[in-house]
Chain A
Amino acid sequence: MASIDVTDASVTFTATQSKQVTLKEYLLKGLFRKSVNPQIAIHALSGINLTARDGDRVGIIGHNGAGKTTLLKLLAGIYTPTAGTSRVEGRVCSLFDISVGFENEATGWENIVYRSYLQGESPASLRDKMQEIAEFSELGEFLSIPVKNYSAGMRMRLAFAIATAAQPEVLLVDEVLAVGDMAFQIKAKARMRAMMSVSRLMVVVSHDLNTVRDTCTKVVWMRKGQVVQEGPPAEVVAAYNRDATERAAAARAQAQVGGQAAPVARVA
């Protein structure tokens, strides 16, 4: 059985403003005067609770930087919670950052092998899938040349074909649908829908509110690393839309008060 149980999970880390740390800075650590390069604590997630069982389709919405991707990476096991617990059971397949992580000098065929192994395939299980991945990617003879010669679109095609060849129990998706050209996008969307119907449990991060409302059984709205609202898709999406419109209106009003024609961000 596939399940997700996140209890009071927080992810907090520190970052410095600049990557460069001088020797003086390193030794003194802001001892006598205020540090010019202070450590900033970033609360990427705080106090998240989320449970999902077989058959659930969870959508995560929110503005950029709300912690959606961090939550997904927490579920994938790439981040470990700094407080609380996160437990995911079932074979996980994550679709994010898929266009990176190629061995550039190796050919497309070889990269299919590496990434499939990384996803937990064995030589035996991969043998049957190789051809299918190659066909889906439509890269043909390009698969025999090193990946460094690929265009960004070709990389995406290959990455998508490999990542979606797995039959996951838990599917974690981070808006990967912008794949390749028009024809391939249609194909990719169809495959995503097929995967969603096959996988027992799915968590998807998206800005496409209509898709979220139509495909999910539960929606989580996040802001600044916290859950604002969680519940039935129609309800949460409507609340999120209302909030976004209000904020846009408030921003517009403020701009007018200021007497300046400030550009207004359009909110979907």
Chain B
Amino acid sequence: MIQHASSMWKFRHFLLALVRLDLRQRYRKSVLGVGWSLLNPIAMTVVFTVVFSKVLGAGADPIAYAASVLTGMAVWSFLRDSTLQGCRCFQANEAYIRQSPIPYTVYTLRTAMGQAIHSSLALGVVVTMVAIYQGDPLVLLRLGLVAPGLVLLFLAAWAAATIAAFTTVFFHDTQHLLEVLAQIVFFMTPIMYPRGLLDDKQLGWLVDANPVYWVLELTRTPLLTGHLPAPTMYLAGAGVTVALVGLAAGVVAWLQKRVIFVL
């Protein structure tokens, strides 16, 4: 394990150079460039606020609703995209894998880091918009409160990408299965609707049993309320992350020597 980590550290320059390349590639030949990463959440907020305040007439505070949805979406799409992109990770880096004996987790980290930067921009937009709307620049300080949640979130996404990458090599249908699964989990997680909606229908256990909810809440609660979540929330979120990381470490130890023969 320690050997694995030190070996990864040795190739940090390689990793960071490729992450930078991926970022540039994402908006290659686009006039707006990184602007798209910012414009997308802004446009979504406008749409949400208009649709939900004017058309559906729900909620007294459309901006708060939009902020909640956008935070949820940013965290959710980070988890989903890291995992789904993780599926193709080893195929995409096959040429490197066949050439150099560097730890495979470098490649899944490449995937997770690329997605993380993209999602951070979206989160930054949400916070800025809330700050502007409330006319309170102190809202920006909430970003500090999010840090522990984001660390756990990132580790969880990296672990999920690693598990997905290894599984796909041995079972090619993984990506399609995960796509279906992601749809189900998305609707089961309180992202588009508040948690209370399910609690009222005695379906609160569905949320409690959902690991995505626990990881999500550690980012959403401090960002929207400005208060740290309860310690039990952190415990639950950390529990989910540790379980995922443990599973990923097990998968790496079990399969890393065999991947090259199957790829």
Contact status A101-B14, CB under 8 Å: no
Query: How many B residues face the partner with a CB closer than 8 A?
Result: 22
Nearest CB in chain A: distance from B222 CB, A: 36
**CA–CA, A15 and B258, complex, Å:** 12
Known: A103-B18, A114-B14, A117-B11. A13 touches B261 (CB 8 A): yes
Contact status A117-B21, CB under 8 Å: no
**Which of A76-84, A135-143, A204-212 lies at the interface with chain B?**
A76-84
B28 sits at the interface (CB 8 A): yes
Known: A117-B14, A118-B14, A122-B13. A101 touches B99 (CB 8 A): yes
B257 sits at the interface (CB 8 A): yes
Known: A79-B260, A80-B257, A120-B10. A114 touches B99 (CB 8 A): no
Nearest CB in chain B: distance from A233 CB, A: 29
Q: Could you mark each residue 84-113 of chain A with 1 if its beta carbon is under 8 Å from any beta carbon of chain B, else 0?
A: 000000000010111011110110001001
Contact status B25-A105, CB under 8 Å: yes
Known: A113-B17, A117-B14, A122-B13. A101 touches B96 (CB 8 A): yes
Q: Which residues from B are CB-within-8-Å of A113?
A: 17
B54 sits at the interface (CB 8 A): no
Q: Which of B25, B28, B100, B258 contacts A118 (CB 8 A)?
A: B100
Known: A113-B17, A118-B14. A101 touches B101 (CB 8 A): no
Q: Which residues from A are CB-within-8-Å of B261?
A: 13-15, 79
User: Quick one: which of A114-134 are within 8 Å of B by CB?
Assistant: 114, 117-123
Q: Which residues from A are CB-within-8-Å of B11?
A: 117-118, 120
Q: Which residues from A are CB-within-8-Å of B242?
A: none
Q: Which of A76, A97, A110 contacts B95 (CB 8 A)?
A: A97
Nearest CB in chain B: distance from A126 CB, A: 8
Contact status A76-B101, CB under 8 Å: yes
Query: How many A residues face the partner with a CB closer than 8 A?
Result: 28
Nearest CB in chain B: distance from A113 CB, A: 6
Which of B28, B102, B261 has the most chain A CB within a 10 Å cutoff?
A: B261
Contact status B99-A118, CB under 8 Å: yes
Q: Could you mark each residue 8-37 of chain B with 1 if its beta carbon is under 8 Å from any beta carbon of chain A, else 0?
A: 001101100110010001001000000000
Q: Which residues from B are CB-within-8-Å of A102?
A: 95
B201 sits at the interface (CB 8 A): no
| Chain B residue with Cβ nearest A13 | B261
Known: A77-B101, A105-B25, A105-B28. A123 touches B95 (CB 8 A): no
Which of B18, B99, B261, B262 has the most chain A CB within a 10 Å cutoff?
A: B99
A residues contacting B by CB (< 8 A) are: 13-15, 76-80, 94, 96-98, 100-103, 105-106, 110, 113-114, 117-123
B residues contacting A by CB (< 8 A) are: 10-11, 13-14, 17-18, 21, 25, 28, 95-102, 257-258, 260-262
Cross-chain pairs A/B with CB under 8 angstroms, 16 sampled:
A13-B261, A14-B261, A78-B101, A94-B100, A96-B99, A100-B95, A101-B99, A102-B95, A105-B21, A113-B17, A114-B17, A117-B17, A118-B99, A118-B102, A120-B11, A121-B13
